[in-house]
Amino acid sequence: MNQTPVTVVTGFLGSGKTTLISDVLGQTPDRRLAVLVNEFGEKNVDGAILRSERLEHCEIFDLEGGLIAYSDQDAFLPTLRELQKRRHRFDHVLIETSGLAVPTAVYVVLESPEFAADFVLDATLAVVDTPLLLNRSFEADGGASQTAVQALFDAQLEQADVVVLNKIDALSEYDLLRAEGDVRARAPKVRFLELAYGAKLDPQLTLGLKLHGLQGTAHHHGPVRSSPGADGLPLEDQAALDGHSHGDLGAHLHSMGTHMHFHVHDTGWQSFTLKSTELQDAARLPTILEDLARKFPVLRAKGFAQVGSGEVQTLQAVRTRVDTETRPGVLEQSELVFIGYHINRKKVIQVLSGASGTTWE
């Protein structure tokens, strides 16, 4: 049976899923890849970022409108059917689930009679924002928001074959061992742990792992011996963190019965897009986003702003940490997506408009 392998990339909001996929695409010009991007918000920023690389060996499909789910009305099934018809044109499928999804719906669809002969789950990677893990940002604290965050974070890890501890740029060996301990305590069945900076991994660690399927040929290259980061890996003895010998190698078994319950949609998670047709201030906007994350339960904000007559700023906020990049370009309007737990759109508009001195709506 010649099935097309499917790699699922999961991970909490802003952990580095798009960065990881973008890096894999850049490193595998010889493989024809289909990338399905499922965004929680109404605007697909990640799809736009991946498309901006203009890579010809891959095709990007946007799956908008929340969580990949079972229903025929959702974008996932029609897209997978389209891919099924053109299967011979792709070597591998990558699916980036939304930062608020647990990938079980994907497994159930892949294993359904309609698709099982044509697709096979290769592996599920869960990308983790390691500094946030270490500062307890994924732990319940008695409040509704953090309870929801922890439930989702743990459920994503539980579904992972490989956990990618990302954003390790400024972490010590002690921090990394602590992070490993935390992941293993939350998800004892995780099979492999990888370290990444800028979500860069050898594609051998991400594609073609064959951790599922009938053959059951669990197989993994590694460990990583050198860091792709600028300063090298902080671990002197990489084997200290190498999780490759831990865990059981039996493939996870998925079925409707065991996984349906992960898809009860928590309506507390909200997302909205704000737009402005006025020119924005490149220096002020990042500070305003930082301030918004301090004032309100905004866990993620991202988008594009016109900051000069021919300049576009990409903004990526993960809680209070904001990254920006400015490139030449002209937008119809500036657009920012906000994601959080019970965030109040009116209040965010008020602060954003007030602080920027421009109208956002």
Ligand X SMILES: Nc1nc2c(ncn2[C@@H]2O[C@H](COP(=O)(O)OP(=O)(O)OP(=O)(O)O)[C@@H](O)[C@H]2O)c(=O)[nH]1
Q: What is the largest CA-CA distance in the chain?
A: 61
Q: Smaller CB distance to ligand X: residue 69 or 199?
A: 199
Task: Indicate whether 156 belongs to the interface with ligand X (CB under 6 A).
Answer: no
- Spatial separation of the C-alpha atoms in residues 44 and 272, rounded to whole Å: 12
Q: How far is the CB of 131 from ligand X (least distance, A)?
A: 8
Per-residue binding string, ligand X, 170-209, x by CB under 6 A, is ---------------------------xxx----------
Options 7, 79, 306, 316; binder of ligand X; rule CB under 6 A: 316
One character per residue 97-126, x = contact with ligand X (rule: CB under 6 A):
--x---------------------------
What is the x/- site pattern for ligand X, positions 272-311, by CB under 6 A? ----------------------------x-----------
Binding-residue pattern over the window 14 to 53 for ligand X, x denoting contact by CB under 6 A: xxxxxx--------------------------x-------
| Inter-residue long-range contacts of 235-242, CB under 8 Å, 24+ positions, other chains counted | 235/173, 235/176, 235/195, 236/173, 238/195, 240/173, 240/177, 241/176, 241/177, 241/180, 241/193, 241/195, 242/193
Q: Measured from the CB of residue 318, what is the shortest distance to ligand X in angstroms?
A: 5
How far apart are alpha carbons 190 and 295 in whole angstroms? 35
The answer to whether 138 and 153 have CB atoms below 8 angstroms apart is yes
Q: Is 10 in the site for ligand X (CB under 6 A)?
A: no
Distance CA 64, CA 175 (A): 36
Binding span for ligand X by CB under 6 A among 165-173, 185-193, 204-212, 238-246: 165-173
Retrieve residue 100's tokens.
């608020």
336 binds ligand X (CB under 6 A): no
Q: Which is nearer to ligand X, 77 or 164 (CB)?
A: 164
The per-type count for the chain, helices as H runs and strands as E runs, is 10, 12
Please state, in angstroms and rounded to a whole number, the distance separating the CA atoms of residues 252 and 245.
17
Is residue 36 within 8 A of residue 95, CB to CB? The reply is yes
Helix (H) or strand (E) holding 93: strand 92-96
Q: Is 66 an interacting residue with respect to ligand X (CB under 6 A)?
A: no
Using CB under 6 A as the criterion, which residues of the chain lie in contact with ligand X when the complex forms? Answer: 11, 13-19, 46, 99, 166-167, 169, 197-199, 300, 316, 318, 323
